[in-house]
Structure 1
Amino acid sequence: MELSAIMTSPTRTKPEPPQLADHPVLDMLNTVCMHEGERHDFWQTDTDVVDWLVRAGWLAGSDESDRGDQALLMAARDLRGIVQVLVAQRKAGDRLSLEALNGYLAEAESYPQLVLGEGREPSLVRVRPRHSARQLLAPLAEAAAEMLVGADFSRIHTCANPECILWFYDRTKSRRRRWCSTSTCGNRHKVAAYRKRHRR
């Protein structure tokens, strides 16, 4: 998928990563895409990562400031790379290299807290300390671990467009989804096939 197709609004000058994978962990992998034959990383600063975490629902609000040390950026890219390798290994049926992801999971501290809602009925929420970049990313690491254990990997694919590297989880009943997006890569394939037929 090209960057031009990911622009969310005519008024936006900065494209946002697509959220079309039908799985939040695969959406994280899709924060890298191909543009004019080269890889483009949507995560260039701590702020980019925070904005994505908020947009994807991993953070309630962008209360994490960009401190300039890029610790969150480095940790997020590291976690993304770890998960990318594990998903590829799981998809291929290879032995999984679990040590690096387990390192993130070891820092995933949390504890339950009772809170009262508007109707004064108690509910239980899980509070997560966010003293470090790795703790901030802990819910995403846990989601990746859960996907590796419980997902149907026969439904996890990369786009059939050889020039696209985006992942998706095929939730269709027919199990025949081939494209990251039918409106971009799928449409390009149809147009190319149409032109090929008419050249003949």
Structure 2
Amino acid sequence: MTEFYGDHPALDLMNTVVQGEETWHTDADVMAWLAEAGERGAATAPGKPGELLAAARALRETIRAAVSARKAGTKIDVKALNAALEHARRHMVLVEESGDGLSLQAQYAADTPQQLLAPLAEAAAHLLATADFTLVRKCEDHACTLWFLDRTKSHRRRWCSMALCGNRNKVAAFRQRQQDA
């Protein structure tokens, strides 16, 4: 089961490379990740074998470059992300909720790998255009490569996960204090 620490779909997409290790090796891996991420789409991978994997990896690296540039305060090359956005074909549908409620939801075409990934491209574009990038952070653990959007009330989140990096670093700091005492 995949863990999602990014608190944003675009950052979770970037986090599919963990400490330099690729987590996607097949189209099925990408489809499983999309399902776990709650992305709607095709039941099977569209396109030729390997095409979804290549498109997902390319989008991930496009988003990584854009987020890194935005975080560093440098100019973002928007061409690649705009090319990914061009594939989005969507329409809105009104959905009846339980009781008398209604909601408006976007329905995306998923006939090609690029169309299947279009909601993630849109999420990345929204992040780049509207997020407060002081709250987009890389985990402070020196060995960790994961990014997250700090949605905590105090905006003092430092770790991808307190259960992983946070605990490891707090235990290490405690041991260091004990040795120094």
Q: TM exceeds 0.5? A: yes
Matched ranges for 1:135-146 at <5 A: 135-146=115-126
Q: Which residue of the partner structure matches residue 151 of structure 1?
A: 131
The equivalent residue for 2:159 is 179
Q: How does 1:32-181 map to 2 (within 5 A)?
A: 32-34=17-19, 39-59=20-40, 63-65=43-45, 69-113=49-93, 125-181=105-161
Percentage identity across paired residues of the two chains: 44
Shift of 1:69: 1.6
Structure 1 distance, partners of 2:16, 2:3, is: 7
- Shift, 1:198, TM fit: 2.1
| Residue in structure 1 matching 2:12, options 20, 23, 27 | 27
Match of 1:11 in 2: none
Change (3 A) 1:176 1:44: same
Q: Check whether the contact 1:18–1:31 (CA below 8 A) recurs between aligned residues.
A: no
Per-residue deviation, 1:115: 6.2
Rate the CA distance shift 1:121–1:74 in 2: closer, same or farther, 3 A: same
Is the partner of 1:137 in helix, strand or coil?
A: helix
Give the TM-score of the pair, scaled to structure 2: 0.89
How far is the alpha carbon of 1:143 from its aligned partner?
0.7
Distance 1:119 1:182, change over 3 A: closer
Separation of aligned partners in 1, 2:48 and 2:145: 30
In the alignment, what sits opposite 1:17?
2
Q: Aligned in 2, Cα 1:157/1:114: closer, same or farther, shift over 3 Å?
A: closer
Kept in 1: contact 2:11–2:148 (CA 8 A): yes
C-alpha deviations, 1:153-183, integer Å up to 9, x for none? 0001000001001001111222211111111
Structure 1 stretches of 4+ moved >4 Å = 65-68, 113-125
The size of the alignment, in residue pairs, is 180
Change (3 A) 1:104 1:121: same
Separation in structure 1 between the aligned mates of residue 12 and residue 38 of structure 2, nearest angstrom = 12
Question: Counterpart of 2:154 in 1: which secondary structure?
Answer: coil
Q: Structure 2 residue aligned with 1:192, among 158, 172, 176?
A: 172
Report the Cα distance in structure 2 between the residues aligned to 1:26 and 1:116, rounded to whole angstroms.
31
TM-score, normalising length: structure 1: 0.81
Give the superposed CA RMSD: 2.3
Gaps of 5+ in 1: 1-15
CA distance in structure 2 between the aligned counterparts of 1:26 and 1:99, rounded to whole angstroms: 19
Q: Distance in 2 between matches of 1:178 and 1:117?
A: 38
